[in-house]
Structure 1
Amino acid sequence: MTEPAEQPSKPVNLGLGYTWEELHCGDRFRTLRRTVTETDLVSFISATGMLEAIFIDAGFDGAIAGRAVPGALTVSLIEGMQFQTLIQRTGLAMLEMSMTAHAPVVVGDTISGLIEIVEVKPTSKRNRGIVTSCVEISNQRGEKVMTYKVKRLVAGKAELELQAA
């Protein structure tokens, strides 16, 4: 039988994202893979009002083979994976984003994101930082389908400690 510790150790929080101080230029992260489903498409276009024929008509005779999904859905799925990991409780605001579509994504494609931190700088107050990252989204064949650059306001260590108190 082991003796109990004199003072219980403080538990480590699981699932917290990185503070701006923990991120550095050149850091790279890969999301999990995610297959885009018909339900994803229907839910997204219904919620956003993107009821364009190319998205609502399975028989639409367009330039893209398969059930095309909006680029905004593709970005949203990768952003969601980052919210659950990289910026959980530390991401405070999206300040700017620019994106480029390179190839279509269709229902049944499996996508993943590669995130590279390209700039980290502190703000003038409140222990926060501005973190800029470039994200490359690829499909199951390793083809680049979308890239985007995003600038976020990210919490610092002191701010997280205040949230936990």
Structure 2
Amino acid sequence: METIGLGFHFEDLPVGRTFKTIGRTVTDADITNFVNATGMVEVLFTNIEFLREESDIKGRVAPGALAYCFAEGLLVQGTMQHTGFAFLGMELKIENPVFSGDTIHVECEVVEARLSRSRPGRGLVRTFNKVVKQDGAVALTYNPLRMIKCRSEGGH
């Protein structure tokens, strides 16, 4: 019987392939839970009065790390189940804030794909990921390099 919900194999991710995830709305509860779980209890995330009176950012803002973690969660659900073996590194750039009430999704483009020299049956895939808000504004960009399972031992 076929198992649904499995991730992409290396062969499914040639350079130039693009796709996007479903969206997720960030809530006040998400921000509160993330801030408390991570210890990011700075006033920017915990003090509405500070935001109103002193901050250049107005509104209930989410940590950039929350937007990144939500983006990874959206990607893992649909692209890496049973096929993503390692996260090897990335660069991340925060472009715009994410606020409570914003809905984000991830747009991905495969920019590098090569077979692993050290691990047979594995490929290395780098994507350029944009986390996009409902109004089209890009919240952050990052370019993870991941080790992905090949469908066959040779990876072809």
Structures share a fold, TM > 0.5? yes
Tell me what 1:24 maps to. Answer: 14
1:86 aligns with 2:76: no
1:14 to 4, 26, 38: 4
* 1:52-67 map, 5 Å: 52-60=42-50, 61-67=54-60
Tell me what 1:106 maps to. Answer: 99
RMSD: 1.2
Tell me what 1:135 maps to. Answer: 129
Equivalent-residue separation in structure 2 for 1:85 and 1:99 (angstroms): 21
Tell me what 2:63 maps to. Answer: 70
Equivalent-residue separation in structure 2 for 1:158 and 1:39 (angstroms): 43
Q: Secondary structure at the match of 2:49?
A: coil
Give the drift of 1:53.
0.7
1:43 aligns with 2:38: no
Give the drift of 1:92.
1.0
Equivalent-residue separation in structure 2 for 1:42 and 1:129 (angstroms): 38
Equivalent-residue separation in structure 2 for 1:62 and 1:92 (angstroms): 41
Tell me what 1:5 maps to. Answer: none
TM-score by length of 1: 0.86
Provide structure 1 residue ranges, at least 5 long, that are not aligned to the other structure: 1-10, 160-165
1:151 to 139, 145, 152: 145
1:60-90, CA deviations, whole angstroms, 9 ceiling, x for partnerless residues?
A: 2311110111111101111101111111111
Whether the 8 Å CA contact 2:83–2:149 is kept in 1: the answer is yes
Give the drift of 1:158.
4.1
Q: Which letter maps to 1:83?
A: V
Q: Secondary structure at the match of 1:112?
A: strand
Runs of 4+ aligned residues of structure 1 deviating over 2 Å after TM superposition are none
Q: Which letter maps to 2:40?
A: M
Provide structure 2 residue ranges, at least 5 long, that are not aligned to the other structure: none
What is the count of residue pairs matched by the alignment?
149
